[in-house]
Amino acid sequence: MGEEAEAFTKQSTPGFKYAEYMVHSRTGNLVVKVWLAVGGDSFTPTATLAAKAVAILSATRSAVPVA
């Protein structure tokens, strides 16, 4: 996703199941960070959060011209 990109995932239990997924991407002068976090009775699968984060990242990259 772009010239440079990295992604991170974390799961914790601060009294409930908490899952986070963050993707950070750079293309030219456009830097985009998408960070999703969900809490509940069970962990949201990493693949589910990753797919949503990549969709948001892709939509943002296509909507913003890169100089």
pLDDT in tens, 16-64: 999 999 999 998 888 999 999 999 999 999 999 999 999 999 999 999 8
> Could you tell me the pLDDT band of residue 67, with boundaries at 50, 70 and 90?
low
The structure's pTM equals: 0.85
Residue 2, φ and ψ in degrees, nearest 5? 100, -175
- Does residue 2 carry a pLDDT above 90? no
Name the more confident of 1 and 17: 17
In the chain, which ranges are E strands?
Answer: 4-12, 17-27, 30-40
Cα separation of 37 and 55, whole Å? 15
